[in-house]
């Protein structure tokens, strides 16, 4: 009975099938030992999209982040390893970029790699952001990582030879566990302005390469695990993990990354899991394997995201990497100028608060933040037009000292600057592509909302010209009244456009520009000093004398909405009181994905209404005007077949005043 008690202690965290539990009771009764058990329990642990976070700290805001950091993840890892020594620890990429991690790029071993080594990571699947820097930097990180680095769909250019391993096979008590790694194949698109970042490499499709690896592994594994830097759904033409699981049910579990989703699911019998971003959770899969004759069979797979917020940071990790934290905080607080007043008075469109809980003002109207970024881009590229997106929807610059952390707050990524020649026709196509971010206005809408399938960082706002975005029109036909220097945009004329390197890749993918259209590249001229964040500082110091004033030219606006202002303010009041919430996308990455609609809110009883008795001489438009409505909305609200036919004594529904 001593072995039976030890078994229960060791596997107290594991889920055991009822049939296996009965078997254990029988074998225990007849005195069989633990060593006679035909079951092996294996635990796979995962992090993803850590983006430079060792400490639980966001250096862009110089504030603690209670559900982030490897220091917290280590506490969970130690807990899980204590419960089961048959453990594999993997990271699925986007590891060494962001959160001031670039401060340490010149160290022999980058702190993020050092941390993974200290934590005994077994596998690292590289992500697309690993290619944001020179290839030599990635090669150094691969060389200094002490586990196995995977990327099955990365090949040496022009050959059938992979650049990195496609998989690694581990063995526990006779059970063979194969782990396959994969990344998005769009590196050449996203790094189009810096081909040296992926020099000599080419990338194959995710579904295609998965099939190839599965065939290569036939007969070599008992448990098949995916460690993919891919989200549930595909993007830019490549397949996501759900499609891969549908096509290849041979996988027992696939760990995901890239989309920053807090996600668990099962597709075609394959368990799927993604642990969010920055260390929000430790992804886990508890796999029970039973021996059937000479064959090991997977009896069950249970996946769970163990959240980091409730646990304390690991003290050893805190001590080891204190130098990283201290240096990052000091750098973040380096003063580079002065800000005369807040750039955005009401960052949240409804509440006015700095924290965006409803919808961001900066994506509904022109702001001084976007105009600053575009001014910087146009200055260094000598462009006619510039475009920029907000990577942080709460981006703002507040009155006071202008610090390096403020630059990182309004410009999150280490993008470089590109100047490209583009025709007026293709520029308009690009603007239409961007404006597809908005949902189409419907009768009764009180707000403009965003397409849940498009990320906020793919909504670009333009400077150097004036234009309207008519949200009553379908995507592809919304940009109106485009004028450059007061004159209509000429479709056949070539304009100089400033974009970041990532968007340059997008434009190439959309076939709106080619490599030959590029006339300026800040990285070629200045290397790391040519990153847009550094250019914002350079512009502030050298061109603005260290003084930043919020300046906005209001060169664009959303049109066609024609909201009922009285009803809109009533609904906004309900939002502020917490009685209504603005919907977000399922993965939580896109806010404001559904408009607040007056007609729907009335039907749901969330807007109070009264009745109005029609009098002789009344006209619908006059009644509607009294209540701050359009006559069309009032007619729709009352489902009038003939809005021109009003009968004295007739009762119609109107808003409560």
Does 466 reside within a domain? yes
CATH number of the domain that residue 99 is part of: 3.60.21.10
What is residue 82's predicted lDDT score, i.e. its pLDDT?
98
Does 447 reside within a domain? yes
Does 4 reside within a domain? no
What is residue 657's predicted lDDT score, i.e. its pLDDT?
66
Q: What is the Cα 287 distance to its own chain's centre?
A: 29
Say how far apart CA 621 and CA 469 lie, in whole Å: 28
Q: What is the Cα 345 distance to its own chain's centre?
A: 26
Say how far apart CA 37 and CA 40 lie, in whole Å: 8
> Does pLDDT of 31 surpass 70?
no
Average pLDDT over residues 614-626: 90
Q: Are residues 495 and 518 in the same domain?
A: yes
> Does pLDDT of 427 surpass 50?
yes
> Does pLDDT of 11 surpass 60?
no
Q: Are residues 217 and 294 in the same domain?
A: yes
Is the model more confident about 354 or about 34?
354
Task: Measure the CA angle with vertex 61, ends 503 and 113; round to 5°.
Answer: 70
Taking residue 645's Cβ as centre, other Cβ atoms within 10 Å add up to 9
Does 8 reside within a domain? no
Per the listing, tokens 């020594």 go with 85
Confidence of residue 627 (pLDDT cuts 50, 70, 90): confident
DSSP, residue by residue, 476-516: TS-EEEEEETTEEPPTTSEEEEEEEHHHHHHHHHTTS--GG
Which class for 599: exposed (0-12), middle (13-18), buried (19 or more C-beta within 10 A)?
middle
Does 567 reside within a domain? no
Residues 634, 652 contacting (CB under 8 angstroms): yes
Does 206 reside within a domain? yes
Say how far apart CA 189 and CA 202 lie, in whole Å: 11
Question: How many Cα neighbours within 13 Å face the side chain of 300?
Answer: 13
Say how far apart CA 366 and CA 431 lie, in whole Å: 15
Residues 86, 76 contacting (CB under 8 angstroms): no
Say how far apart CA 629 and CA 135 lie, in whole Å: 60
What is residue 20's predicted lDDT score, i.e. its pLDDT?
39
Q: Are residues 544 and 618 in the same domain?
A: no
Q: How far apart are the two ends of the chain, measured CA to CA in Å?
A: 76
> Does pLDDT of 633 surpass 90?
no
> Does pLDDT of 6 surpass 50?
no
> Does pLDDT of 440 surpass 80?
yes
What's the total number of domains in the chain? Answer: 3
Confidence of residue 635 (pLDDT cuts 50, 70, 90): confident
> Does pLDDT of 8 surpass 60?
no
Task: Mean pLDDT check: name the lowest of 154-158, 171-175, 503-507, 583-587.
Answer: 583-587
Is the model more confident about 653 or about 459?
459
| Sequence-ordered list of residues with C-beta below 8 angstroms from that of 465, at least 6 positions apart, any chain | 384, 385, 482, 483, 484, 489, 555
| Sequence-ordered list of residues with C-beta below 8 angstroms from that of 213, at least 6 positions apart, any chain | 152, 166, 167, 180
Report the share of the chain in percent with pLDDT over 90: 79
> Where are the strands (E) in 330-372, listed by range?
335-339
What is residue 561's predicted lDDT score, i.e. its pLDDT?
76
What is residue 450's predicted lDDT score, i.e. its pLDDT?
96
Question: CA 194 → CA 132, 134, 202, 419, 525, distances in Å?
Answer: 9, 8, 14, 13, 12
The enclosing H or E element of 569 equals: helix 565-576
Residues 168, 123 contacting (CB under 8 angstroms): yes
| Phi, psi (degrees; rounded to nearest 5) at 544 | -110, 5
> Does pLDDT of 598 surpass 60?
yes
DSSP state of 404: H
Say how far apart CA 105 and CA 117 lie, in whole Å: 17
Confidence of residue 188 (pLDDT cuts 50, 70, 90): very high
Q: Are residues 619 and 541 in the same domain?
A: no
Say how far apart CA 454 and CA 590 lie, in whole Å: 8
Taking residue 646's Cβ as centre, other Cβ atoms within 10 Å add up to 18
What is residue 464's predicted lDDT score, i.e. its pLDDT?
98
Q: Are residues 294 and 403 in the same domain?
A: no
Confidence of residue 380 (pLDDT cuts 50, 70, 90): very high
Average pLDDT over residues 577-592: 87
Task: Mean pLDDT check: name the lowest of 231-245, 410-424, 538-552, 594-608.
Answer: 594-608
Domain termination residue (choose one: 523, 540, 562): 562
Q: Are residues 426 and 315 in the same domain?
A: no
What is residue 201's predicted lDDT score, i.e. its pLDDT?
98
Q: Are residues 45 and 166 in the same domain?
A: yes
> Does pLDDT of 169 surpass 50?
yes
Is the model more confident about 528 or about 83?
83
Residues 70, 50 contacting (CB under 8 angstroms): yes
What is residue 24's predicted lDDT score, i.e. its pLDDT?
39
| Phi, psi (degrees; rounded to nearest 5) at 401 | -65, 140
Q: Are residues 213 and 254 in the same domain?
A: yes
Say how far apart CA 451 and CA 257 lie, in whole Å: 22
Domain termination residue (choose one: 529, 562, 595): 562
CATH number of the domain that residue 581 is part of: 3.10.350.10
| Sequence-ordered list of residues with C-beta below 8 angstroms from that of 390, at least 6 positions apart, any chain | 360, 362, 363, 369, 370, 410, 456, 457, 459
Q: Are residues 175 and 141 in the same domain?
A: yes
Does 544 reside within a domain? yes
Domain termination residue (choose one: 300, 322, 344): 322
Residues 190, 416 contacting (CB under 8 angstroms): no
Q: How many residues are listed for the chain in this entry?
A: 657
> Does pLDDT of 329 surpass 50?
yes
Does 541 reside within a domain? yes
Digit-coded pLDDT (tens) for 132-156:
999 999 999 999 999 999 999 999 9
> Does pLDDT of 162 surpass 70?
yes
Alpha helix ranges (H) inside 333-446: 368-381, 404-410, 424-435
Q: Are residues 312 and 431 in the same domain?
A: no
| pTM flag (> 0.85) | no
Average pLDDT over residues 292-302: 95
Q: Are residues 388 and 510 in the same domain?
A: yes
Q: Are residues 124 and 248 in the same domain?
A: yes
Q: In 3D, which of 221, 183, 220 has the Cα closest to residue 203?
A: 183
Average pLDDT over residues 611-627: 90
| Phi, psi (degrees; rounded to nearest 5) at 338 | -130, 145
DSSP, residue by residue, 166-187: SEEEEEETTEEEEEEEE--S-H
Q: What is the Cα 34 distance to its own chain's centre?
A: 46
- What is the residue-averaged pLDDT of the chain? 91
> Does pLDDT of 32 surpass 70?
no
Residue ranges making up the domain that contains 624: 575-655
């Amino acid at each position: 009975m001593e072995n039976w008690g030890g078994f229960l202690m060791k596997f107290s965290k594991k889920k055991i099938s009822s049939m296996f539990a009965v078997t254990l009771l029988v074998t225990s009764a007849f005195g069989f030992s633990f060593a006679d058990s035909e079951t092996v329990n294996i635990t796979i642990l995962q992090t993803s999209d850590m983006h430079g976070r060792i400490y639980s700290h966001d250096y862009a805001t110089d504030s603690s982040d209670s559900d982030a950091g490897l220091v917290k993840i280590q506490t969970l890892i130690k807990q899980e390893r204590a419960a089961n020594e048959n453990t594999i620890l993997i990271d699925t990429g986007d590891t060494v970029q962001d959160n001031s991690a670039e401060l340490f790029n010149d160290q022999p071993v980058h702190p993020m790699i050092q941390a993974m080594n200290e934590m005994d990571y077994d596998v690292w699947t590289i992500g697309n952001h690993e290619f944001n820097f020179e290839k030599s930097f990635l090669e150094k990180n691969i060389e200094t990582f002490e586990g196995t680095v995977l990327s099955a769909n990365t090949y040496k250019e022009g050959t059938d030879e992979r650049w990195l391993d496609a998989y690694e096979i581990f063995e526990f008590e006779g059970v063979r566990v194969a782990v396959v790694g994969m990344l998005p194949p769009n590196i050449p698109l996203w790094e189009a302005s810096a081909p040296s970042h992926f020099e000599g490499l080419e990338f194959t499709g995710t579904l295609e390469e998965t099939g190839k690896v599965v065939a290569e592994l036939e007969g070599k594994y008992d448990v098949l695990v995916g460690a993919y830097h891919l989200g549930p759904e595909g993007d830019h033409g490549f397949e996501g993990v759900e499609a891969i699981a549908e096509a290849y049910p041979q996988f027992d579990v696939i760990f995901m990354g890239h989309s920053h989703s807090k996600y668990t699911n099962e597709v075609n019998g394959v368990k799927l899991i993604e642990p969010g971003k920055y260390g929000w959770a430790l992804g886990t899969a508890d796999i029970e394997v039973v021996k059937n004759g000479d064959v090991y069979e997977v009896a069950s797979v249970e996946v769970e995201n163990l959240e980091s917020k409730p646990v304390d940071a690991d003290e050893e990790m805190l001590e080891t990497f204190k130098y990283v934290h201290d240096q990052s905080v000091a750098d973040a607080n380096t003063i580079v100028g002065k800000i005369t007043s807040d750039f955005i008075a009401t960052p949240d469109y409804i509440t006015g608060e700095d924290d965006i809980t409803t919808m961001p003002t900066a994506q509904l109207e022109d702001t001084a933040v976007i105009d600053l970024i575009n001014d910087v881009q146009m200055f260094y590229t000598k462009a006619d037009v510039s475009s920029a997106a907000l990577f942080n929807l709460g981006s703002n610059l507040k009155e006071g000292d202008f610090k390096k952390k403020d630059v990182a707050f309004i410009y999150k990524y280490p993008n470089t600057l590109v100047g490209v020649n583009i025709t007026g026709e293709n520029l308009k196509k690009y603007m239409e592509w961007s404006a597809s971010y908005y949902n189409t206005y419907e009768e009764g809408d009180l707000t403009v909302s965003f397409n849940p399938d498009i990320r906020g960082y793919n909504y670009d706002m333009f400077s150097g010209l004036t234009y309207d975005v008519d949200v009553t029109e379908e995507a592809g036909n919304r940009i109106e009244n485009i004028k450059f220097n007061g004159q209509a945009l000429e479709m056949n004329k070539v304009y100089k456009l400033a974009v970041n390197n990532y968007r340059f890749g997008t434009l190439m993918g959309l076939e709106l520009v080619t490599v030959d259209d590029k006339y300026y590249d800040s990285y070629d001229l200045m290397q790391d000093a040519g990153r847009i964040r550094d250019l914002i500082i350079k512009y502030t110091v050298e061109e603005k004398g260290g003084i930043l004033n919020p300046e906005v030219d209001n060169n664009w606006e959303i049109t066609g909405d024609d909201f009922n202002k009285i009803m809109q303010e009533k609904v906004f009041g309900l939002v502020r009181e917490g009685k209504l919430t603005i919907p977000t996308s399922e993965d939580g990455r896109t806010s404001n994905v559904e408009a607040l609609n007056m007609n729907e809110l009335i039907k749901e009883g969330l807007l109070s209404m009264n009745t109005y008795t029609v009098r002789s001489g009344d006209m619908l438009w006059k009644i509607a005007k009294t209540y701050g409505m359009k006559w069309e909305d009032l007619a729709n609200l009352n489902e009038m077949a003939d809005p021109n036919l009003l009968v004295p004594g007739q009762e119609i529904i109107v808003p409560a005043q």
